[in-house]
Structure 1
Amino acid sequence: MLKLKHLFSNIDLATMIVSNWEYDDLEPLQYWNISSNAIYPFKNKEEMYFLRFAPNDEKHKDNIEAELEFLLYLQNQGYSAIQPKTSKQGRLIEVVDTPWGQYYASVFNRVKGDCLGRVELTEKMITLWGKALGNLHLLSSGYNPTGGKRRSWEDHLEWIKNVLSEFPNQEKPLEEVQILETYFKNLPITNDNYGLIHYDFELDNVFFDKETKEITPIDFDDSMYHWYGMDLERAINSIKDELEPDKVEEAIKSFLEGYQSVKPLSEETLDQLHVFQRFGNLYGYTRVLRSINEKWENEPEWMVNLRGKLEGVLERRSEQFSMPLIK
């Protein structure tokens, strides 16, 4: 998540940045969304595209390049995933200097269909969702980037440690870093259980096209090298958050059946999901802590309300910190 100071809409900034791509209708820019990136829709030749950008103090250019290389690899392998669009200069990333600072920007095509969070989650739909993740992991296991590599779980734990060290009273989160680091360093790494994962393969980031019956994930911004079980845990966590309690067990069963229809899944991986959940909680906690750190006088109401909600997120995600890793 971006720092709160970056969550303000700025149509002038978006207009400056999007001018690096072909467009003929900027009216959709008003339907912006900002979270981990600023997202502004626009049109060109009746097609909808999404401008994504973030300040250079929030993102790393080489990490974005590695993300886009993976997306192109998936496309070449026939896997349906969101795709980047080149700029007027033929680049997938534009580094744009503006009066508000320097930004890294990319543009993506609009994915057909609706996100799974807005459709009826039938057993068949959930099975397709699980199958799509299994296929993604199969392709990841054969992926060898020609450019730089995405960050790994180890890089992220180091980042977490550095961020937490800047804040007072973070003894338990720092203990959690050590607990997870020790656990993961003793976890076997094989081509079957480890690779480049999506990390946010949840309902809102996966689309279904009724016409083609195709599942298409978006938002690979948090992809990292990790055990494939991390992706499974994030998806299952999404099921637990979004579905009625009496539907969760069957939904998880259908998801795992879909996954296993294309990629084997060991009992060992399933036994590790509670540890991956701890990683997700720690990573999310640290991002939120960093985001809400700065405060200003006379903050707008939406920011005050958002800060209050995020403080609640910190409390929930920290409940297990420093506790022994017992299933």
Structure 2
Amino acid sequence: MGETPDALALRRRGHILDAEQSCHLRRAPQECARFCPVPFFIGHGSIVDRPYRRVQKYRSLIPGEGARLRSLTRGRNDQDVGGRVAEGELDRPVGKSACGRRLGVRGWPAMMPLTEIDRLKQTVSEAWDSPVADQVAARWGYPAGTARWWRSSASHVFVLPDSGRRRYLRFVPGSYRGPKPVAVVAELMARLSDGGSAVVRPVAAESGALTVTVATGLGAMHAMVVEPAPGEEVDVTGLTESQAWHWGQALAHLHRDAAGLDTGLPESFGELPGIGELFADDTALVEATARLTDVMRDLPRGRDRWGVVHGDFELDNMAWEDGRPIAYDFDEAALSWYAADVAFAVRDLTDHTGRPTTEHRAQFDAFLAGYRGVRPFDDEDLGHLPLFAGLHAAVSLVRITRALDAPARVEPDWLTELRDDLTDLARTHRQLVIEVGQEVG
């Protein structure tokens, strides 16, 4: 099967890889790891002829639909909970990258085990629908066959075409996550939206609830539906200083507006205590993580530095309308240091240690100026960005390791290959943790 025109256009511009190729950005391993904390993504969607922002997951073509395209690129072209459906878009399955990173804070696994994702994948038809999704979507009044598989990572996401637009159905197995985390995120998004924040709002089910639990052929699923975010995406390659300023301002507004809306949210970096047991034979990693954790524990938690954070306020998690961003995908919302949220948000503008690159220094400074125009962010906060880069790498290492889970006796080739790729990426994250740990120590 030949390449689609979109894929061919991307290849000509250097944004698509063959399975045998390495990162198209020709980055050093440390740089690739910074952009790939949880590099798995499988589902359905379309490639757009434009540069992508960052690597966080693989987007794979389902076997039988053609050669699987695996792209290590810096971003994605679809919003997890935003955007519009172009004509014919849902009928065109092609591989693409997508930004992955999913909640791994205390009690909330980072992403579903690969075997869990494969279970859902096996129910998806050639038309990209699934009887499991049909059972869940029915709670919002959608007839069978409406929901089309978009992706699976921390949750299964299906597109719900609706009068030329699209909503997003998101659900997770009850065996993977309880109903409370899903409900807490939905409630936070609703309260922020109702309060005037630039955040997409969840859609109530026919019962009036924002989240529901549905018995399906694969067991209980905890689900929510979200509206699309209006506007366009902005890529880091085209990010202006003015846009960077509004980006920083938007994050500061979110931190300010979310104060006091923390009921039920976990604390960030909850995976770190498990590293000693998970990697008991890796003394260097355990010691480096301990140094990072010791420094983290001594950080102040005053109201000016600690509160509700988005957890993934990167460019690929917002749409832009009239020059201002609208946020979505709050799966990683937590209680944390505001500086940690800033560190994760601006990774497109920094090197793997969290320091601004020469190329993006102007945008980085503009981001901070926009943030500081709303709430404080002093030099002490700025100095902690390398620390949080190391902590995020440690969290990503745990997430990848847990996602690998125990392989089935017989697995498809793509899953075996993906396990190998994830194992390689885990090694790179390990090196990052040790590097930053030595610097901090």
Q: 1:14 corresponds to which residue?
A: 133
Equivalent residue number for residue 287 of structure 1: 399
Question: 1:84 — aligned with what?
Answer: 202
Task: State the Cα distance separating 1:93 from its structure 2 match.
Answer: 1.1
TM-score by length of 1: 0.87
Calculate percent identity across the aligned residue pairs.
23
Structure 2 CA distance for partners of 1:260 and 1:149, relative to 1, 3 Å: same
The residue type equivalent to 2:142 in the other structure is Y
The 5-angstrom pairing of residues 115-134 of structure 1 reads 115-117=233-235, 120-134=238-252
RMSD (Å), alpha carbons: 2.6
1:295 counterpart SS class: coil
Q: Deviations over 1:201-224 (max 9, x none)?
A: 112112112xx3331111110111
Whether 2:224 is the aligned partner of 1:224: answer no
Residue 180 to residue 168, structure 1, CA distance change in 2 (3 Å): closer
With over 3 angstroms needed to count, the CA separation of the structure-2 counterparts of 1:81 and 1:7, relative to structure 1, is same
Structure 1 residue identity aligned to 2:228: R
Greater relative contact order (CA < 8 Å, ≥ 6 in sequence): 1
The alignment covers a number of residue pairs equal to: 317
| Correspondence 1:326 to 2:440 | yes
Any idea what the Cα deviations from partners look like across 1:74-114, whole Å, max 9, x if unmatched?
A: 11221111211111111111111222121111110011123
Residue identity matched to 1:235: A
Which piece of structure 1 moves more, 14-23 or 268-277?
Answer: 14-23
Matched residues in 2 for 1:149 and 1:256: separation? Answer: 29
AA in 2 matched with 1:259: Y
Cα–Cα, structure 1 residues 280 and 302, in superposed 2: closer, same or farther, change >3 Å?
same
Q: In structure 2, what is the Cα distance between the partners aligned to 1:99 and 1:225?
A: 35
Indicate if the aligned counterparts of 2:252 and 2:371 stay in contact, CA closer than 8 A.
Answer: yes
Structure 1 residues 102 and 172 mapped into 2: Cα distance closer, same or farther (>3 Å)?
farther
Change (3 A) 1:170 1:247: same
Q: CA deviation at 1:14?
A: 1.1
How many Å apart are 1:6 and its aligned residue?
2.3
Instruction: Give the Cα separation in 1 of the matches to 2:192 and 2:404.
Output: 35
Q: Is the aligned partner of 1:236 residue 2:367? A: no
Paired with 2:418 and 2:173, the residues of 1 have a C-alpha distance of 21
How far does the alpha carbon of each residue in 1:1-21 deviate from its partner, in whole angstroms, 9 at most, with x for none? Answer: 211112232322111111111
Q: In 1, Cα distance between the equivalents of 2:237 and 2:294?
A: 41
Q: How much does 1:164 deviate? A: 5.9
- Separation (CA, whole Å) in 2 of partners of 1:151 and 1:75: 21
Pairing of 1:199-214 with structure 2 (within 5 A): 199-209=311-321, 212-214=322-324
Query: Cα offset for 1:276?
Result: 0.9
Indicate how the Cα distance of structure 1 residues 118 and 245 shifts in structure 2: closer, same or farther if over 3 A, else same. Answer: closer
The separation in 2 between residues aligned to 1:278 and 1:94, in whole angstroms, is: 37
In 1, Cα distance between the equivalents of 2:205 and 2:184? 17
Question: Unpaired segments of 5 or more residues in structure 2?
Answer: 1-110, 124-129
1:119 to 1:18, Cα distance in 2 relative to 1, 3 A: farther
Gaps of 5+ in 1: none
User: Could you say which residue in structure 1 is the equivalent of 2:78?
Assistant: none
- Shift in alpha-carbon separation, 1:98–1:24, aligned structure 2, 3 A: closer
Q: Bigger CA drift: 245-254 or 114-123?
A: 114-123
Residue aligning to 1:61: 179
Return the alpha-carbon distance in structure 2 between the equivalents of residues 53 and 164 of structure 1.
31
- Alignment CA distance shift 1:52-1:313 (3 Å): same
1:143 is aligned to 260
Q: CA deviation at 1:25?
A: 8.2
The amino acid of 1:222's aligned partner reads E
- 1:274 alignment partner AA: P
Higher helix residue share: 1
Alignment correspondent of 1:273? 385
d(CA) in 1 for partners of 2:253, 2:358: 28
Which of residues 165, 171, 187 in structure 1 aligns to 2:299? 187
Match of 1:302 in 2: 414
Q: Distance in 2 between matches of 1:247 and 1:180?
A: 28
